[in-house]
Amino acid sequence: MKNYLIRAIDKNKSVRIFIADTTEIVREIRRVHQSSATGSAALGRLATISLIMGVTTKNDNEKLTIRFDGGGVGGKLIAVSNTKGEVKVTATNPEADAPSKYPGKLDVSAFVGKDGNLAVIRDYGLKEPYTGLSNIVTGEIAEDIANYYFYSEQTPSIVSLGVLVDTDLSIRAAGGIFVQVLPGIKDEELTILEKIASNLDPVSKMIDNGLTPEEILEKYFSEIKPEIIEKQKLTYNCDCSRERIEKGLISIGKKDLQHLLDEDGQAEVICDFCKTKYVFDRENLENLIKESK
């Protein structure tokens, strides 16, 4: 299993731990979006935490969307995930880059931006999805997600995300660690968690050095005696389809569809998440016009 996460809980059942290796997923993101080094790092971090948050949801049909709108050079960043361990991501300008902070340190905050907000949208399949908002504090993604959980969901957490990009823009390693504190935790265990957090190496470095999620759990969290309760496969998967694109075109209305037909004689739609191209010729558009209002 190349891309997967483990879910563990401590002996006192007061701490949940998620550790993910997402290296192959971030390689796919780089291939699909032709992203810059900084773009790959930002989208990879976002995909990783989205996958982890997606599998923590309670409803099998729930869809989770995370949107960063911070005014950075990458524009808006969006990730969509679900309980099956599937994710898709996009950015307005994935190929945009920013100068490194210093050699070997990509400036993800410049790509994401700090002047804006982070939205977490939970779609339960009911009438209205639930949206939680928080300010972007650093633009580094991990700190912003931890801030969201603390202020919007009143849940203290540890979030560590990393993507190691090589000089040729290939992805060497990617992954994440997410630790959630549950109600009733004792002060002694909080102290231990703080010590663990301060001793964590960069997660991408751990994975690049060959550590598996299980080995990371054993190396850094053994003091709280965690037990692995689930192991889940993770994939990059876009659920777009021609039928869904047709519905989108119908929704723009008869007038705009007629304009497309008159001006271009066809319509071409490219999916933001997977870059699949859908072409609708004259006959297709005429049929859609008949169906639209």
Domain count, the chain: 2
Alpha carbons 203 and 164: distance in angstroms, whole number: 9
Query: Do 19 and 153 belong to one domain?
Result: yes
Q: Which long-range contacts (CB under 8 A, 24 or more apart) does 121-124 make?
A: 121/64, 121/65, 121/66, 121/67, 122/57, 122/62, 122/63, 122/64, 123/62, 123/63, 123/64, 123/65, 124/59, 124/61, 124/62
Query: Do 202 and 143 belong to one domain?
Result: yes
Q: Which two tokens stand for residue 286?
A: 């005429």
Query: Do 173 and 275 belong to one domain?
Result: no
Query: 177 has which bridge partners?
Result: 19, 160
| CATH code for position 253 | 3.90.1280.10
Domain termination site, one of 236, 263, 280: 236
- Close Cβ partners of 128 (under 8 Å, ≥ 6 residues apart): none
Query: Do 228 and 250 belong to one domain?
Result: no
Alpha carbons 97 and 76: distance in angstroms, whole number: 14
Whether the pLDDT of residue 1 is over 70: the answer is no
Alpha carbons 16 and 4: distance in angstroms, whole number: 17
Mean pLDDT of 46-70: 92
Tell me: the pLDDT tens digits for 210-235? Answer: 999 999 999 999 999 999 999 999 99
Whether the pLDDT of residue 127 is over 90: the answer is no
Q: Residue type for 111, please?
A: F
Tell me: the pLDDT tens digits for 154-196? Answer: 889 999 999 999 999 999 999 999 999 998 888 899 999 999 9
Residue-number span of the structural domain to which 285 is assigned: 242-291
Mean pLDDT of 200-209: 97
Query: Do 16 and 71 belong to one domain?
Result: yes
To the nearest whole number, what is the mean pLDDT of the chain? 94
